[in-house]
């Protein structure tokens, strides 16, 4: 039982900026830690729902500009996880867009220096987030803001367990534990049940279905982006997982914004 408790708080300490009540690290539990990454996404999603709900309440009582609401909503999703996934997104873009040989791309991936491609793609990412949130912050169903962070992390966590890591990845040392990885992937299937339960809550499924479809389509595009990252960089890594999460979520909110007008 303590293995699961430790793995959960490892995920919390790594991927949340909220104070972690139990700080312990066991390098042998990195595979098991992936089981709890979507649960971290659920915490992020619940808090995101609360942020959106408060913004909507303030808008009803006092009226707030869409631009302010969009800024707060966008800042939250990156700040709550300490910008760690955004860091992976930037590193991957620096490496992939360099168009250099594989060895050089892998070196750039681990280079702490911020390159021009990272800055350019960061700018486009944030503009796209801001544009999408202006449209959906007061129109999308609240449950959509819960599902998106869970689903993006579910896909990334599964890919870390599923695909061979790059040699320098922190997950390389646990990859040989094939039986453990398969068991952890079975645990991840539980999250699909959780998502299904959230989808069926209430009686207005026909209202939220376009938004939910947009989220799943965004997650699919994020998974394709992750596959492209693995192909370009020679394997899986935490940076590629962060890249995949960012792609899943930006495609998700953009498609949700499009669904508003359908």
Whole-number pLDDT of residue 199: 64
Which residues, including other chains, have CB under 8 Å from residue 249's CB and lie 6 or more apart?
Answer: 77, 148, 149, 152, 218, 222
- Summarize pLDDT for 169-182 with one digit per residue, the tens: 888 888 888 888 88
- Summarize pLDDT for 201-258 with one digit per residue, the tens: 665 556 567 777 888 898 899 999 999 999 999 999 999 999 999 999 999 999 999 9
Strands (E), 126-181: none
Answer yes or no: is pLDDT of 49 > 90. yes
At what angle are helices 238-260 and 142-162 packed, to 10 degrees?
A: 150
* Residues facing 165 on adjacent strands: 236
Instruction: Report the alpha-carbon distance of residue 139 to residue 220 in Å, rounded.
Output: 23
- Summarize pLDDT for 51-75 with one digit per residue, the tens: 999 999 999 988 899 999 999 999 9
For the chain, the domain total comes to: 1
Which residues, including other chains, have CB under 8 Å from residue 171's CB and lie 6 or more apart?
Answer: 30, 31, 160, 165, 236, 237, 238
Answer yes or no: is pLDDT of 200 > 70. no
User: Rounded to the nearest 5°, which phi and psi values hold at 165?
Assistant: -80, 155
- Summarize pLDDT for 26-43 with one digit per residue, the tens: 888 888 899 899 999 999
pTM of the model as a whole? 0.92
Whole-number pLDDT of residue 192: 73
**How many helices, marked H, and strands, marked E, lie in the chain?**
10, 0
Whole-number pLDDT of residue 247: 96
- Domain of residue 252: give its range: 2-260
Across the chain, which distance is largest between two alpha carbons, in Å? Answer: 57
């Amino acid at each position: 039982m303590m293995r699961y408790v430790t793995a959960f708080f490892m995920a919390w300490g790594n991927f949340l900026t909220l104070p972690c009540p139990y700080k312990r690290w066991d390098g042998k539990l990195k595979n098991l830690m992936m089981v709890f990454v979507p649960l971290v996404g659920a915490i992020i999603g619940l808090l995101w729902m609360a942020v959106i709900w408060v913004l909507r309440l303030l808008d009803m009582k006092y009226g707030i500009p869409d631009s302010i609401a969009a800024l707060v909503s966008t800042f939250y999703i990156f700040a709550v996880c300490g910008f760690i996934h955004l860091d992976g997104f930037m590193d991957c873009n620096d490496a992939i867009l360099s168009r250099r040989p594989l060895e050089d791309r892998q070196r750039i991936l681990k280079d702490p220096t911020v390159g021009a491609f990272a800055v350019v793609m960061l700018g486009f990412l944030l503009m796209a987030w801001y544009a999408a949130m202006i449209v959906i912050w007061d129109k999308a169903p609240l449950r959509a803001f819960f599902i998106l962070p869970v689903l993006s992390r579910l896909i990334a966590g599964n890919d870390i367990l599923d695909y061979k890591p790059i040699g320098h990845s922190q997950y390389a040392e646990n990859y040989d534990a094939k039986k453990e990885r398969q068991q952890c992937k079975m645990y991840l299937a539980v999250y699909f049940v959780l998502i299904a339960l959230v989808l069926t809550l209430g009686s207005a499924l026909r209202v939220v279905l376009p938004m939910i479809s947009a989220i799943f389509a965004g997650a699919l595009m994020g998974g394709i982006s992750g596959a492209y990252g693995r192909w370009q960089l020679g394997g899986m890594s935490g940076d590629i997982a962060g890249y995949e999460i960012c792609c899943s979520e930006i495609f998700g909110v953009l498609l949700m914004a499009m669904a508003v007008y359908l």
